[in-house]
Every structure is written in structure tokens, then in C-alpha cells.
């Protein structure tokens, strides 16, 4: 999915997380738009659920960066020294969802775990 000024694409080769690396990011996050994002792991697969939306499989592009397999989400997460996780989520949305915004994407800030 191409968004002016942004790009969401799967990495050519997913980043290989070490066992337990995703544990730093699993959980529920409040987002600046009022939604909640939940990150979960089932076996070796990683998933994101945003608001009432469907569970979406994500793959690591780096240790703290994840992209959905449908290339509709891209997130970067950072864990502070105090353990608080913050980051940024880029979501590609259909034009009709964006209303008069005129674009095909929106950036949402994660407020923390």
C-alpha cells in the first residue's frame, strides 16, 4: 500500500525475533484516537487487534517494528528504561473511510501499555 510520504510493505525477509523478544510488546495499548490495540502471540504467529477490528497477523521488520501481512498496518514500538512502551502506528484506510481527508492513511500515536 502506498501512502503519500509513507510506505507500508512487508520486509523481503522477516526479522528473526529471539524467543521472548515479543514479550516486551505483548499487551493492550491506548491509542491517541481513542481506540485500543492489543498485541498477542499464538504459537509462532503475532497478531494485532485494533478496536473492534479483526485480528491481523503481523511480522517483524526489525526488533521493534512490525508490519501486517496485508500491508495495512506498520508500527514502531519503543520500550523506555522505566518499562513504558510508546510508539507510532501507521494505518492504511480506504478513501471512503477517510472522508474529506483526501488521503489513504492515518498516523496514530500509541500512548503506552
pLDDT in tens, the chain (113 residues): 454 566 788 888 889 988 888 888 899 988 888 889 999 999 889 999 998 889 999 999 998 999 999 999 999 988 888 878 888 888 876 544 434 444 445 455 555 44
Has residue 15 been placed in a domain? Answer: no
- Domain count of the chain? 1
Asked if the structure places residue 19 within a domain, the reply is no
Gap between the Cα atoms of 69 and 14, Å rounded: 11
Structural domain includes residue 100? yes
How distant is the alpha carbon of residue 99 from its chain centre? 22
CA–CA dist 113, 105 (Å, integer): 24
Nearest to 66 by CA among 54, 78, 52: 78
Is 18 part of a structural domain of the chain? Answer: no
In a domain, 16, yes or no: no
Provide the residue range defining the domain that includes 76. 2-9+24-112
Rounded CA gap, 61 and 10, in Å?
Answer: 7
Residues 11, 16: Cα–Cα separation, whole Å: 11
pTM above 0.85, yes or no: no
Amino acid at each position: 500500500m502506498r501512502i503519500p510520504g509513507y510506505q507500508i510493505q512487508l520486509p523481503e525477509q522477516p526479522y528473526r525475533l529471539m524467543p521472548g523478544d515479543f514479550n516486551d510488546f505483548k499487551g493492550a495499548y491506548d491509542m491517541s484516537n481513542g481506540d485500543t490495540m492489543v498485541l498477542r502471540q499464538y504459537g509462532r504467529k503475532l497478531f494485532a487487534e485494533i478496536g473492534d477490528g479483526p485480528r491481523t497477523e503481523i511480522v517483524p521488520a526489525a526488533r521493534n517494528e512490525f508490519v501486517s501481512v496485508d500491508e495495512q498496518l506498520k508500527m514502531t514500538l519503543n520500550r523506555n528504561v522505566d518499562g513504558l512502551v510508546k510508539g507510532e502506528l501507521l494505518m492504511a484506510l480506504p478513501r471512503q473511510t477517510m472522508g474529506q481527508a483526501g488521503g489513504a492513511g492515518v498516523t496514530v500515536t500509541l500512548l503506552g501499555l
